[in-house]
Chain A
Amino acid sequence: MSKLGTLGARLHRGEIGYDFVGKRKIWYGVSILITITAILGLAVRGLNMGIEFQGGAVFTTERTSVSVSQAETYAEEASGHDAIVQKLGNGGLRIQVAGVDTGKSDQIKKDLSKDLKVDPEKINADLVGPSWGDQIANKAWQGLAIFMVLVVIYLAIAFEWRMAAAALVALIHDITITVGVYALVGFEVTPGTVIGLLTILGYSLYDTVVVFDSLKEQTKDITKQTRYTYSEIADRSINGTLVRSINTTVVALLPVAGLLFIGGGVLGAGMLNDISLSLFVGLAAGAYSSIFIATPLVADLKEREPQIKALRKRVLAKRAAAAAKGESLEAPVVERSYDDEEPDDDATPAVVGPRAQRAQPSSRSRGRGRPSGKRR
């Protein structure tokens, strides 16, 4: 079996183990690097704001034989402004003229229909005042702020403030990455993009919330045991929900990819494309951040709590004692194995982490993934 195939099979069996929390510094670094790049890109290149934000008109025609450059000349003559012309998937043209007010558009439309020999009734015109895009953007920011506040409150109540804070950081992280990609690649920012960006909010958090939910469940009685530190359990949660995260992301990305490549491919630029592009970027960022950023951050924050600190001490002390006895009882780094621990939603205290029977040193973790047999 190929390596990838093995990975797939192991994922399928839920055996994948990766020390997300332990290697968090690396991923924080990666994220900081990406974020800095994004901010730099934004500062240096800026965003390519679409016509909606400067005011102007977008005319879309049906299939026409007029070439792009010719249409450009026509449009510039008709409007007296610079025009951007794109060929669409269906053979039509998309002519974008900036700085045209809505009053002038009818005239331009008439001229264009004459030049391009297209029935004026067959030309779609999308005209926007210069303040419209700003208004949409302002409302979007406003919505974003309200949403963030509400979601932080909700997460703080449903989970705890640390998770709320981590989710917020992950969310900001996703938005920064998406905006950065837009700045660096130079995709046009339209209200469609804004819509897409706003949707990422829900999605990014959705993913994060699923991991947190599992984390909350697994750490319910964490202080009553001495086998695992919080970070290790956090790691287990990530690994435990990894298959779900991957599946969810794949399943969410598939329709979006359909929109992006097929919908957009047929029609060329347009709202479908704008929304799906920002969704695509944002979804990927969202999946990444919920795994590599949000949960490790929670673990980081949690480890500062006195009782979690105390737990860590106890766990380490126990491990040291065990090591001294020459019999290592615990796996310092938890690898994902199929759960052979007792169900953890009952009242028994030792609900977190695998049972002691299974304990092995980390060096032996290669042998993991199948029942050790020790348990019997």
Chain B
Amino acid sequence: MAAPKKGRQGTQGRPGRTLALILIAIVALTGGMFASGHTTPRLGIDLAGGTSITLQAKNEPGQKNAINKTNMDTAVDIMNRRVNGLGVSEAEVQTQGDSNIIVNIPKGTNSEQAREQVGTTAKLYFRPVLVTEVTGADAATPSPSASGSSSASPSASAKESEKATSSSSPSASATSQGRAVTDALKADPTPSGSSTGSESAAASPSASASTDPATAKLQAEYTKLDCSKKTVRAKAGDGVKAGDPTVACGQNSQGQWQKYILGPAEVEGTDVDKASAVFDTQGAAGWKVTMDFTGKGGKKFASITGKLAQNQSPQNQFAIVLDGEVVSDPYVSQALTGGTAEISGSFDQQEAQDLANMLSYGALPLTFTEASVTTVTAALGGEQLEAGLIAGAIGLALVIIYLVVYYRGLSMIAIASLLVSAVMTYVIMSLLGPTIGFALNLPAVCGAIVAIGITADSFIVFFERIRDEIREGRRMRPAVERAWPRARRTILVSDFVSFLAAAVLFVVTVGKVQGFAFTLGLTTLLDVVVVFFFTKPLMTLLARRKFFAEGHSWSGLDPKRLGVQPPLRRTRRASAPVDTKEA
């Protein structure tokens, strides 16, 4: 027996060191979990309670390739803005698969409202700008009469018109629109006087003294409006009809928030037939957005631009308002009657395309239908989790009982391994919550429970191999070392198949199936780790113990119980040295 032992030293390695390593790794992971403060796995909507909305992009005739990554991302972006406008910071919007968007809104929010916001096509309006200013901490000195040349852009121009020197022709025309404007401004002749130097001074020279309550209210809202706050921003335009003036926020190219009083919507998103981003090679080279209007829309647009062109800044601007937020506020220098218009400014390609997208699709680049909506109260979700966990615990207990009955002493190794596996699964799941946004949903719980079987199977394969070796008459230590290479291959091959199934499912499928597949894949990987770095070294160590090595009748490796007869074994050992048969 001396020779084989020497030969085997290599495969045996240093079980103690491996064990110590994995235990340190587990302690480190667990420590990391506590350090990060995420001591429980993040629960999915179906367990924590809340609303989960699955939106499915629909192909529309004539736009075969509309469902692509760019458009999905744009849609996610827009939806994110919408749900988080509800004042929920935890709401998350993600693409899933090729054509789905999942919106998860945690409990405690108005799910009905959320659904309305998310599912419906965004509202896109063209509204005339009445008043605007940058909301900033620093109140710059007002420059009420910014003199300067009128901007020379031939068409509707710059997104960044705020920056452009404003035309100061004091010709506030008395159109109905103009009157609304002046009324609005009346209540606060120098709107908070905080426009920065470069901004167009909003003070309108008009001065009709009537203050109707609606205007006053609007003015009050405007004064109150603090665009630097997300929640305030989102609420700004809530419940305002297209025909009413409103207040809104928008971000200018410097990323500063600017607030507006906007007149009634003149042109709606549906009036835009098509918009596209074009690279302008002539004149002011750069990206611009061109719009084609529908027949009716063209007329409306002609009329509003005609009116606006006569105003002075800022009232010669119109704001493109998406979901209550100003996305662009080009100003108009002349009536645009051709049914087409272009917006130029210092866009980069992305900006131009985003704007064009918003304009042509009425905000969302795609049409979505609600594929499923799940609302779960935390109470019921908790109950399901509880039932799942109880089921898992009972399943685990049954597995343990079975293992103990069948494998006796060996089962201790299996149970310890299962325990290590469970701890690792839990810790990794907890850590994956904040890192990759993994959320434990009900199918994932199922996946974890099912994985008990997969994990236990690895031990069974290994133990049966060991027992085969014992039956062949080997002693415990050589039996373990001989059994391992064969068991290892079987475990790897079968775990690979299992992992392949999980991976394919994860990549291909959507929704609930994905969570399940992820858990299954994760636990399969962990199974390999545990078997290699825990079960095997532990087995090697224990094989040296008298209890196992001598095949105590409670060790599960009692040769007699396995049907080996001691005389046979003795003969066997003498006649067939095992060293030459090493794998």
A271 near B497 (CB under 8 angstroms)? no
| Cα of A132 to Cα of B406 in the assembled complex, Å | 45
Q: Which residues of B contact A195 (CB under 8 A)?
A: 443, 446, 512-513, 516
Q: Which residues of A contact B472 (CB under 8 A)?
A: 338-340, 343
Q: Does B13 contact A (CB under 8 A)?
A: no
Stretch of B82-90, B178-186, B204-212, B373-381 lying at the A interface: B373-381
Stretch of B224-232, B235-243, B286-294, B447-455 lying at the A interface: B447-455
B457 near A136 (CB under 8 angstroms)? no
What 0/1 pattern do residues 338 to 374 of A give for CB contact below 8 A with B? Answer: 1110110110000000000000000000000111000
What 0/1 pattern do residues 252 to 272 of A give for CB contact below 8 A with B? Answer: 111111110011001100111
Q: Does B371 contact A (CB under 8 A)?
A: yes
Q: Does B35 contact A (CB under 8 A)?
A: no
Residue of B56, B394, B505 with most partner-chain A CB within 10 A: B505
Q: Does B511 contact A (CB under 8 A)?
A: yes
Q: Which residues of A contact B520 (CB under 8 A)?
A: 199, 202
- Contacts A132-B54, A254-B399; is A60 near B380 (CB within 8 Å)? yes
| Cα of A205 to Cα of B454 in the assembled complex, Å | 12
- Contacts A136-B510, A275-B443, A339-B468; is A251 near B565 (CB within 8 Å)? no
| Cα of A41 to Cα of B403 in the assembled complex, Å | 38
B513 near A129 (CB under 8 angstroms)? no
CB B408 to nearest CB in A, in angstroms, measures: 11
Residue of B370, B375, B576 with most partner-chain A CB within 10 A: B375
Q: Which residues of A contact B54 (CB under 8 A)?
A: 132
Contact of B497 (CB < 8 Å), options: A142, A209, A247, A257: A209
Q: Which residues of A contact B583 (CB under 8 A)?
A: 343, 345-346
| Cα of A262 to Cα of B501 in the assembled complex, Å | 27
User: In B364-398, which residues have CB < 8 Å from any A CB?
Assistant: 369-377, 379-380, 383-384, 387-388, 390-392, 394-396, 398
B517 closest partner in A (C-beta): A198
Q: Which residues of B contact A252 (CB under 8 A)?
A: 450, 453-454, 456-457
What 0/1 pattern do residues 60 to 82 of A give for CB contact below 8 A with B? Answer: 10100000000000000000000
Residue of B100, B464, B472 with most partner-chain A CB within 10 A: B464
User: In A268-286, which residues have CB < 8 Å from any B CB?
Assistant: 270-272, 275-276, 279
B578 near A343 (CB under 8 angstroms)? yes
Q: Does B498 contact A (CB under 8 A)?
A: yes
- Contacts A14-B562, A206-B457, A254-B453; is A139 near B509 (CB within 8 Å)? yes
Q: Per DSSP, are chain B's interface residues mostly helix, strand or loop, or mixed?
A: helix
Q: Does A191 contact B (CB under 8 A)?
A: yes
Q: Does A105 contact B (CB under 8 A)?
A: yes
Q: Does A327 contact B (CB under 8 A)?
A: no
Contact of B383 (CB < 8 Å), options: A143, A248, A267: A267
Q: Does A36 contact B (CB under 8 A)?
A: no
- Contacts A201-B501, A272-B387, A279-B450; is A128 near B457 (CB within 8 Å)? no
Q: Which residues of A contact B141 (CB under 8 A)?
A: none
A14 near B374 (CB under 8 angstroms)? no
A139 closest partner in B (C-beta): B509
- Contacts A125-B374, A136-B513, A257-B395; is A62 near B380 (CB within 8 Å)? yes
A127 near B372 (CB under 8 angstroms)? yes
CB A247 to nearest CB in B, in angstroms, measures: 5
Q: Which residues of A contact B510 (CB under 8 A)?
A: 135-136, 139
- Contacts A125-B375, A151-B497, A371-B568; is A272 near B391 (CB within 8 Å)? yes
B516 near A255 (CB under 8 angstroms)? no
What 0/1 pattern do residues 126 to 149 of A give for CB contact below 8 A with B? Answer: 111101100110011011001100
Contact of A128 (CB < 8 Å), options: B371, B380, B509: B371
Q: Does A150 contact B (CB under 8 A)?
A: yes
Q: Does B97 contact A (CB under 8 A)?
A: yes
| Cα of A101 to Cα of B152 in the assembled complex, Å | 53
Residue of A60, A247, A257 with most partner-chain B CB within 10 A: A247
A127 near B373 (CB under 8 angstroms)? yes
B467 near A345 (CB under 8 angstroms)? no
Q: Does B502 contact A (CB under 8 A)?
A: yes
| Cα of A354 to Cα of B112 in the assembled complex, Å | 72
- Contacts A129-B369, A201-B501, A258-B449; is A338 near B375 (CB within 8 Å)? no
Q: Which residues of B contact A60 (CB under 8 A)?
A: 380
- Contacts A122-B379, A370-B565; is A247 near B112 (CB within 8 Å)? no
Contact of B387 (CB < 8 Å), options: A122, A213, A266, A371: A266
Q: Which residues of B contact A210 (CB under 8 A)?
A: 461, 490, 493-494
Q: Which residues of B contact A254 (CB under 8 A)?
A: 395, 398-399, 402, 453
Q: Does B564 contact A (CB under 8 A)?
A: yes
CB B525 to nearest CB in A, in angstroms, measures: 13
Tally chain B residues at the interface, Cβ within 8 Å.
Answer: 92
Residue of B100, B391, B406, B452 with most partner-chain A CB within 10 A: B391
| Cα of A371 to Cα of B383 in the assembled complex, Å | 57
Residue of A147, A154, A254 with most partner-chain B CB within 10 A: A254
Q: Does A244 contact B (CB under 8 A)?
A: yes
B371 near A143 (CB under 8 angstroms)? no
A376 near B56 (CB under 8 angstroms)? no
A251 near B377 (CB under 8 angstroms)? no
Contact of B379 (CB < 8 Å), options: A62, A140, A250, A256: A62
Q: Which residues of B contact A102 (CB under 8 A)?
A: 115, 119, 370, 372-373
| Cα of A244 to Cα of B568 in the assembled complex, Å | 25
| Cα of A65 to Cα of B198 in the assembled complex, Å | 69
Residue of A250, A251, A271 with most partner-chain B CB within 10 A: A251
Contact of B563 (CB < 8 Å), options: A13, A203, A267: A13
Q: Does A192 contact B (CB under 8 A)?
A: yes
Q: Which residues of A contact B392 (CB under 8 A)?
A: 255, 258-259
Q: Which residues of A contact B509 (CB under 8 A)?
A: 136, 139-140, 143, 198
User: In A205-248, which residues have CB < 8 Å from any B CB?
Assistant: 205-207, 209-210, 213-214, 217, 240-241, 243-244, 247-248
CB B515 to nearest CB in A, in angstroms, measures: 9
A255 near B450 (CB under 8 angstroms)? yes
A272 near B388 (CB under 8 angstroms)? yes
| Cα of A192 to Cα of B443 in the assembled complex, Å | 8
Q: Does A90 contact B (CB under 8 A)?
A: yes
Q: Does A305 contact B (CB under 8 A)?
A: no
CB B395 to nearest CB in A, in angstroms, measures: 3
- Contacts A102-B373, A125-B374, A338-B471; is A258 near B500 (CB within 8 Å)? no
B501 near A12 (CB under 8 angstroms)? no
Q: Does A15 contact B (CB under 8 A)?
A: yes
CB B47 to nearest CB in A, in angstroms, measures: 11
A143 near B399 (CB under 8 angstroms)? no
B399 near A272 (CB under 8 angstroms)? no
A275 near B446 (CB under 8 angstroms)? yes
Q: Does B64 contact A (CB under 8 A)?
A: no
Q: Does B482 contact A (CB under 8 A)?
A: yes
Q: Does B581 contact A (CB under 8 A)?
A: yes
Q: Does A307 contact B (CB under 8 A)?
A: no
- Contacts A102-B373, A251-B402; is A14 near B471 (CB within 8 Å)? yes
Q: Does B216 contact A (CB under 8 A)?
A: no
CB B25 to nearest CB in A, in angstroms, measures: 26
B374 near A213 (CB under 8 angstroms)? no
Q: Which residues of B contact A370 (CB under 8 A)?
A: 563, 565
| Cα of A214 to Cα of B456 in the assembled complex, Å | 19
Contact of A262 (CB < 8 Å), options: B119, B390, B468, B485: B390
Contact of A154 (CB < 8 Å), options: B100, B384, B443, B497: B497
Pull 20 A–B residue pairs with CB atoms less than 8 Å apart, ordered by A.
A14-B468, A52-B372, A62-B379, A147-B504, A147-B505, A150-B504, A202-B498, A203-B453, A210-B494, A241-B464, A247-B460, A248-B460, A251-B457, A263-B390, A275-B446, A339-B468, A342-B581, A343-B482, A345-B485, A370-B563
| Further 11 A-B residue pairs, CB within 8 A, beyond A252-B453, A266-B387, A338-B472 | A14-B467, A106-B115, A132-B371, A139-B510, A191-B512, A217-B486, A248-B453, A250-B402, A272-B387, A272-B442, A339-B471
The 9 closest A-B pairs by CB, nearest first: A255-B395, A252-B453, A258-B395, A202-B501, A263-B391, A13-B563, A143-B508, A132-B371, A338-B471
